[in-house]
Amino acid sequence: MKIAVCIKQVVTREWQLRVNEQKTWIRDQDASFELNEPDAYALEEALRLKEKHGGEVIVCCAGPARATQVIREALARGADRAIHVESDALATADASVVADALAAAIADEKVDLVLTGLQSDDQGFGQVGVILAERLGMPHATIIMAIEKTEGGLRVKRELEGGWFQWVGLPMPALLTIQSGINQLRYATLKGIMAAKKKEIKKAAAPAASAQAPRITSLYFPEKGKQTQIIPGTPAEAAKALVTRLREEARAL
């Protein structure tokens, strides 16, 4: 089984976020970075499928040069080789631009399965995987909590709302977006770290961005504010009005 895993480098959760001078992204020159957590679970699931069924795990990353950090980490954990679509513009690109870049890199690999994390820890749109599936012409399923290989393809377990789950059958090749917690993550061993230095990282050029691609025009932290409102009427009327506002305006109920 030939599996491609899409990963992303994101700012660590412990780093104090600061907006850059242009107000278009965070100031990341002095930030610390890590592997996007849902992508780490996707990588682990790919490695487990390889150990069970054989094959190859290819890591694909679309991002600036600094993203080599998480690519090397993925190779140290057990991935066989990597493809890096390198461009500074991809650090802040939206889901459609990133999906186009990944699709161009993966298309010629003829993979059986593509795994992505459910969403990224920075933008959190949860759209790269489903757009990538469309670009590659693959069936897809999202929020995956278990994967079983069958004679005709795959059987996967999806997490739904309210604690419900759904089992779905898919032919291969297919794309799955992986939910955090699907497995127990492994860490890179010293042997794996040393071996990663010799593994291939293929560089790929990013496709030209469309003039219609969305871009961030302004980014800011929400301002904190306080406001007091007096609700007139009898206690019963005030209580009824308060419940209505909590439900319809504050959406706290």
User: Both tokens of residue 38?
Assistant: 């849902």
Q: What is the DSSP letter of 163?
A: G
pLDDT for 236 equals 92
* Average of per-residue pLDDT across 94-119: 94
Report whether 174 contacts 106 (CB < 8 A).
no
Provide the pLDDT confidence category of residue 16 given band limits of 50, 70 and 90. Answer: confident
Hey, which bits of 30-104 come out as E strands? Answer: 33-35, 56-63, 81-86
pLDDT for 215 equals 78
* Average of per-residue pLDDT across 185-208: 92
212 CB burial (10 A radius; 0-12, 13-18, 19+) = exposed
% the chain with pLDDT above 90: 70
> How far is the C-alpha of 206 from the C-alpha of 99, rounded, in Å?
11
pLDDT for 211 equals 61
Nearest to 99 by CA among 209, 201, 10: 209
Measured at the CA of 1, the angle between CA 133 and CA 97, to 5 degrees, comes to: 25
Range list of H helices, 107-218: 128-136, 190-196
Q: What is the DSSP letter of 210?
A: P
pLDDT for 51 equals 96
Is the pLDDT at 165 greater than 80? The verdict is yes
Mean pLDDT for all residues in the chain: 91
Question: What CATH number should be reported for the domain whose range is 2-205?
Answer: 3.40.50.620
Nearest to 190 by CA among 76, 81, 43: 76
Show Cβ contacts of residue 93 under 8 Å, excluding neighbours closer than 6 positions: 62, 101, 209, 213
Over residues 32-61, the pLDDT tens digits come to 899 999 999 999 999 999 999 999 999 999
Provide the pLDDT confidence category of residue 31 given band limits of 50, 70 and 90. Answer: confident
C-alpha pair distances (Å), 52 with each of 1, 45, 46, 148:
10, 11, 10, 11
Over residues 120-157, the pLDDT tens digits come to 998 888 999 999 999 999 999 999 999 999 998 999 99
Show Cβ contacts of residue 88 under 8 Å, excluding neighbours closer than 6 positions: 64, 65
pTM to 2 decimal places:
0.84
Task: State whether the Cα torsion 218-29-132-151 is positive or negative.
Answer: negative
Q: How many CA atoms lie within 13 A of 16 on its CB side?
A: 0
Neighbours of 163 (CB within 10 A): 6
> How far is the C-alpha of 244 from the C-alpha of 249, rounded, in Å?
8
Domain limits of the chain?
2-205
> How far is the C-alpha of 88 from the C-alpha of 92, rounded, in Å?
8
- Residue owning tokens 């009005």: 241
